[in-house]
Structure 1
Amino acid sequence: MVKEELYITVPSVFRCPISLDVMKSPVSLCTGVTYDRSSIQQWLESGHNTCPATMQLLPSKDFIPNLTLHRLINLWIQSSTLLPGANSPRLLPATFPEITQVRAKLLMEKIESQCCAESLSKLSEFVSYCEENRRFVVRFHGFVEVIAGVLIRKCVEIEALEMTVGILDLILSENGIKERLNKLILKSNQESNFLSTIVFILQNGSPDSKVRSVRVLDSLALDSESKRRISDSQDLLSVLLQLLQTNNDQSLNDAVTSILTTVSVTRSIKSRLIENGVVEILSNTMTEKSLKLLATLSSSSEGRSAISSNPKCTAAIVEKLLKVSKTATEDAVVVLWRGCCLQKEEKVKEAVVKGNGVTKILVIMQREGEGRVKMMCSDLVKAVRAACKDWSLGSYETKTTHIRPC
């Protein structure tokens, strides 16, 4: 029989406003606020002359033991351990805004001065707890700057870097954060350090931290200059492509494919990706994100040639036509249309026919309203008709709204 754990709610007055833990040696300042001795000593010894909870200036830094509270805490602990099944009771976490703000300020100061992994871990826990906490830290003066600063420092341990990208990933959706981070990192002279840090995480971090670091990177690519700065990092592109080729984590593959699509805005970057075999890699891991990147690459003649010369790629695209979202279907149609109608590659037409692509294209035509996708589908059917040896379309008219049986 599995023994149930006992959770105990701690009275708020028993928790230290700084550490949030049950106080072992409660002491009171002249402001009347009580703290655990070790926590308030650390606060005062670090140069502060205010009461953390009230931010009042302290005329005196002396404190006196709160014996009454100490006795009440001891009685509460003893009574808790006497409860049935309470051999090792677990304490429920505290959620008091006025306390967590004090704690967050202290943690930020430690991170800024020492880049302490322990402080980052606690701050990560605080940010992960709820949306209210995330909104608070975003509004907290200097928070974004302190966290972003960790990623542009040198010789930071991998654990600290992983927690930092985790924190940033959690707050990216908050208003204005992407723009602030973009300005702090990619619009400064520190982007090389930041990109080197991302490469380091991608090479040495956990799968989750790799996904988060790529998502953070993708969110900062807000304009052409930022995208150029990212794509100019040859080391970064090489690591991203290597991950895409060797990694089996779909979340990471999607994140990598997304950032490659985001930065593929110039002919030169598209050429570099193609030269490094991205089309072959995508052919082996065809997803909705892959279709988006292929649609982007196919906008150049070099991209169309690379896709057309890879029959496996076209076959994989045709196979996905009716199995993906509407947006991804449009991306697939765009790639096929460019190969068949712009590039006029017979290999692409043959691959479409072999994969029963004509029928699938007709189905897409049938469900699409008037628009670009339907027009491309119509062009595709006409272009593929000549390559179709075994199935005659007869007098099928591409403007009809139904599929005519053979």
Structure 2
Amino acid sequence: MLTLMSAQKNTRTPFEGVNATWNYTLGSIVFLFLMLDLIVIADLVVRYLETGSMLLRVLVAVCVLASATRIRYCWFLRGDSEGRLPHVGWTIALFAPAVAAWGLAFVLPEGSVYAAAQLWFSGVLFAIVLRRALRWLVMLALAVATAIPIFVRALLGDEGLELTERGAGPFVMMYGLLLPFMLISSLWLWRVVWRLDEARHLAAELAVTQERLRFAADLHDIQGHHLQVIALKAELVERTLEAKPEYAAEQVGEIRLIAKEALEETRSLVAGLREVALDVELENAREVLTLSGAECELDIAGTPSGREAQRVLAFAVREATTNILRHSGATAAKLALRPARGGYELVVTNNGLVEGYEQGSGSGLSGLRERVAALGGTLSAGALNDNFELRLWVPEGATT
């Protein structure tokens, strides 16, 4: 038997699609920085080979180091559940080579634009992880700081700006200006997917909570009435025990019968025997699965007239629905019920297949298998085409 009251605590893990979205976003950002850095470094290497300038040689080495730290820092863009910033050591490692290159921009005869741009590239990457208001202030400060050595070289009349007029300079400047917007748009899409995944988990938890509340309400309905009657009869026995002992003894017998009835109804509730119409159970399953974030499709071609067949099928629908909520991150599910071979066949599929899940494992499926076998039916459960499928058949007029 499987009940939501004994459900284990659900471990919060991102859905597979969320990780795939992050990997795509991370790959795109890393590729963007790699292309920019390779173009800059390649152009500087060409300039170094032409001039043999030792300063350009140092700048190439600094740019390689700055590129490596930026690429590593990209992994921190995902953030954590508490919104904390990366460790200060990584931030220092990010800015150290960028600031060194920025300093070289004041003294380089060529390549000052590329050197100053290193501060902008690294600074934008850091600003992205900040809160929105602070982010734009930091970017404004970075833009001013990046422009200072370029204007200094321009005022001195040196050739440090010639790379903006030929070679890869215009391309690097254009993409450098667009860099914040490209990063923000990529991370915005990732965060939307992450929030949708959080909403899906919250909906699943809400569905489980609602099922627990339903169980508690049913238990209250059963126990509350019987306990109230028992309390009243016990008071009556207390008042009449001496004056009317025979009447009191009769009431004690009724109390025993009421207690026995309450116990049997409670066992029936826990065992899933409390009768609910099959069509109501199917609609409940669709509602609960939809609340959990899964698209649920019902394909009902008819329902059996036999009471026992309906009872087992209703129990199977509850069991399958609870399994989906507890053991999978399904985003799509289908419940199909149709006449077949002189009986009715129920097929429940979902795309939340869990690796390592053994067919027929768990007391819930074992109990369901016993109920189906008692009616002369059949049941199978397991993986099929990357889905998990539960399929059972019961004869139309089955009786136990």
Higher relative contact order (CA 8 A, sep 6+): 2
TM-score, normalised on structure 2? 0.25
User: Which of the pair is proportionally richer in strand?
Assistant: 2
TM-score, normalised on structure 1? 0.25
